[in-house]
Every structure is written in C-alpha cells, then in structure tokens.
Amino acid sequence: MSSPTGASEVRPQAVLDGPAAAAVFLVVTVEPGGEPAARALLGELPALVRAVSFGQRDGELSCVAGIGSAAWDRLFGPPRPAALHPFPELSGPQHRAPSTPGDLLFHIRAPRPDLCFALAAEIGRRLGDGAAVQDETQAFAYYDSRNLLGFVDGTENPVGSAAAHAALIGDEDPRFRGGSYALAQKYLHDVDAWEKLTVEAQERVVGRTKLTNIELGVPGSHVDVNTLTTADGTELRVVRGAMPFGRPGHGEFGTYFIVYARDPEVPETLLRKMFLGTAEQGPDPLLDFSRPVTGTLFFVPSADLLDELTAR
C-alpha cells in the first residue's frame, strides 16, 4: 500500500477492505479482571482468522479490532493515541445521537455468514466471563449495495491511495502511524413511515435518485448534509463500511453505520451537522426516519502495533 502519510511502512488492519456479503459487528465491555483475556485475544486474532478460514472456498475472512477510550489505559497504558476519546453524545432540538458503552470492537467481514459466525463465536469463547456483550449485529449485503430504505449506499467511498489517506494515521501521530479511528452507530429505520412517502419525496430527502443513484443537488438533503469541505473547497473524506441488518418478524430494519478516519474530528463534524444543523441548514432530514441507538469511538491500531502491544 502506498500512502502520502507515510503509513505505507506499517501493516494496517483490514480497514480498507471492500464490501462483503456478510458481516458481524461485535461490541463488548471488558469486565474487571478480564484484561488478560482481552489482551490475549487481540494478540491471537490474526491466527484465529487464518484458522477459521483455512481451506474454505471463498474464505476471504477479515476482522478489524478496535479499542475504546476507557479500555485503552486498562489494557495498554501510555502512550495514548492522540485523538482517542469517548464518543460525544449529541442532543439537538429534534434528534439525539447517544453515547453507549464499548471497550472492544470486532468488525468481521466475509463472503459467507457462516465464517463470520464461526469467528464471532470463537471470540466469545476466548473472552468468556471476562467481557459483556453490549451489541452484536449480524449484517448482510442487500441487492445492489442498497440499504433497507431502498437506496444505494457507500458509492462515494474513496479508493486506493485516497482511501488510505482518508483512513490511516500518518506522521501527525508517529507512534500510531497506520492506525485508524472507527466511529460506529447502529440505526433503526421507521420503514412504515418511509414507505408512506412517494418515491419523489424519498429522493428529495436522500438527494439521489432511487433507481439510478444519481445525485440531485438538493440543498439540505442527506447527501448535502453529509458532505464536508474545507475553506478552499476540498472535500474531507472517510472510509464507510455501513451494512444493512434486520429481523422482519420483529419489525426491525436498520443500518450499522461504521466509518474509518485518520482524524475522528471529520466524522464527528459530520454528525454535528446531521444532528444539530448549522446556521445555513437544518439537521439531516433522513433522521426523521432513522435513529441511532448506539454510538462509540474506537482506535484501531496497525497490525504491527497490535502485535507489539499484545506481546508485552
């Protein structure tokens, strides 16, 4: 991987992996006394991925591990990643983004759900009573990269060196080069209310055509609010890995939203625009139909640093 940030000299975790057919998002808190088991698991994770996928056709299994702010000091101590902090709750006049517990994140991706399941089960066994599951979401690809509201999702992701520049820490935090920050939220959709809108009204909310995914340039739309530029017009990018999930029998339809960024201020600024609005525009209109129930920020060490930390 080549990156102008200098992150090419270290091995990142699989934060730049493309979309997969299946995923599991597992967020846990480490119980008092569970720190040794958590450190051991983090050190063994690459071997577990290889073992679960060994010999499997289409076995492109990957797992990204992240550590929350409170857990970092308990597991590894100083130094800390420069921008690691608790996820900030956002409460606007209409919408709220909660901050919820999370010490460890495991973002598992594979072409087959059984591989995701097998790795998540092994992670749970290794942690045992030393951790409590805060959220476990099994997600899937839906039609042609669509979310459960029927719109294509993630088409504006950067690729190649642009993705590395957006997601991987460079020389601004040399000790943690090649790492990333993962911001994760679980959104539930009010599909019944959404389906009462005409297609044209849905398109005005999202800012894209539903069938062909063409941007419409609608001021104040979801697409408009989720675009962040600098004073000179440069767009600030993140790498998005959102996927749909749901349980139709329980009336649950949602999107697990996860972004990787070299600076968490970028996605947090986007969230402030979404939930609080700005002097120029109101909050994201899609929030009238989609609400977050979790919110956590994690630091994702490079693969090399994770090896070093867990070998202590």
Q: Does residue 30 contact residue 105 with C-beta atoms inside 8 Å? A: no
Determine the Cα–Cα distance for residues 168 and 148; give it in Å rounded to an integer. Answer: 30
- Residue holding tokens 């960024």? 261
- Residue holding tokens 């999202």? 206
Handedness of CA 114, 118, 121, 127 (dihedral sign): negative
**How many angstroms separate the Cα of 289 from the Cα of each of 84, 89, 163, 194, 248?**
30, 19, 30, 6, 17
Handedness of CA 42, 47, 49, 51 (dihedral sign): negative
Determine the Cα–Cα distance for residues 9 and 28; give it in Å rounded to an integer. Answer: 31
Structure tokens at 239: 């790498």
Determine the Cα–Cα distance for residues 164 and 272; give it in Å rounded to an integer. Answer: 24
Annotated active-site positions, please? 153
C-alpha 234: how far from its chain's center?
A: 23
Determine the Cα–Cα distance for residues 36 and 40; give it in Å rounded to an integer. Answer: 6
Determine the Cα–Cα distance for residues 285 and 104; give it in Å rounded to an integer. Answer: 31
What single-letter amino acid sits at 89? E
Residues 6+ apart with CB under 8 A from 194: 149, 202, 289
Q: Does residue 235 contact residue 168 with C-beta atoms inside 8 Å? A: no
- Residue holding tokens 């979401």? 137
Q: Does residue 169 contact residue 265 with C-beta atoms inside 8 Å? A: no
